[in-house]
Chains A and B, each alone.
Chain A
């Protein structure tokens, strides 16, 4: 039988504790600990969610589900005595990416152009420079979703969730060098897609 988790008090409060310590605290009965974990990672999780969903309510819903599922996975891993439960940040971001992809896939079943649809809201027929810039921006964001899976994951974790390459490597269970290589390919591919669509700097969206 495993011993009950030991609760320790460290000066500096929750902010000074690692994710794993906070998780341990929460599982040992300290409820604030989970709130601190959420506070720490919710911005990155919401940024990942915004890549796939447009409505604020959907973003928040996806973020909540990601946190609760990550908690479930961590709990289950501990109950089963699995030695290698991924770090909480990796767990929650990986789940957020998967939920986002599922959301995009489900929308694709209901609409012919799922991810694009929201971006293609009625654009007034005007030639203002600002509108053109916005259109180009939307076209580039749509092009991100056309990248191969791993390249897209690495790119979005870098520019949306603002993770370091070491963190991206942990989230995706790859090496840091591999993450950099995928990122490099992603930027080159994205530039090619954008050039093909004519939505690059100075270009017009197709």
Chain B
């Protein structure tokens, strides 16, 4: 006889340890009335009992009593220092994280402004319109310089190809 599908999982949960008291009471009421589920409860109870790890022996228990004190002492010690190569790698990554976006931003702004310079036919540097943030004149001028240099490089490339 098969146990009731609705109760089979609950029977196993109850056999394995504490469950919600209301649920346990519901299962108990059902077991009183159902032979198949009662047999299932015995079977799964035996199975889980056999599956459990053995209790700790006297030796393990004795040693385990010192575990909290021993571990608290070990935990007081500071973490081992990371190896030098790890520190160097971390420093390199930190620099890269800051430097790469800044450099990319500069290059992008420079490339955006480069065609305008080429079309303008080399207008005086101070009059160029540069797409830049409103950080201040100094940044805008620096970007304009970069753009101007890039446009010169581009012209040089074209001349080389000819």
Contacts and interface: CB of A to CB of B under 8 A. Distances in A.
A64 B74 contact: yes
Contact of B56 (A46, A158, A184, A191): A46
A42 B68 CA distance: 8
B108 to A, nearest CB: 31
Contacts of B74: 64, 68
A165 B72 contact: no
Contact of A32 (B56, B63, B72): B72
Contact of A35 (B9, B54, B57, B72): B72
A71 B16 CA distance: 30
Closest 3 CB pairs of A and B: A56-B60, A35-B68, A140-B50
Given A160-B52, A184-B9, A201-B43, A68 B63 contact: no
B72 A159 contact: no
Interface string B65-82: 001111110111001000
Given A31-B72, A32-B72, A63-B67, A159 B51 contact: yes
B46 interface: yes
Given A34-B71, A158-B17, A165-B13, A141 B50 contact: yes
Contacts of B64: 42-43, 46, 60, 63
A34 B75 contact: yes
Contact of B16 (A43, A144, A158): A158
Interface in A56-80: 56-57, 59-60, 63-64, 67-68, 71-72, 75
B72 A38 contact: yes
A36 interface: yes
B47 A190 contact: yes
B44 interface: yes
Interface in B16-56: 16-18, 43-44, 46-48, 50-54, 56
Interface string A116-158: 0000000000000000000011001101100000000001101
Contacts, number: 109
Interface of B: 8-9, 12-13, 16-18, 43-44, 46-48, 50-54, 56-57, 59-60, 63-64, 67-72, 74-76, 79
Contacts of A187: 12, 16, 44, 47-48
B51 A190 contact: yes
A115 interface: no
A50 interface: yes
Given A31-B72, A46-B60, A140-B51, 11 more contacts: A34-B75, A35-B69, A50-B56, A68-B74, A141-B53, A143-B51, A159-B51, A159-B52, A190-B51, A191-B44, A201-B46
B63 A56 contact: yes
Nearest to A40: B68
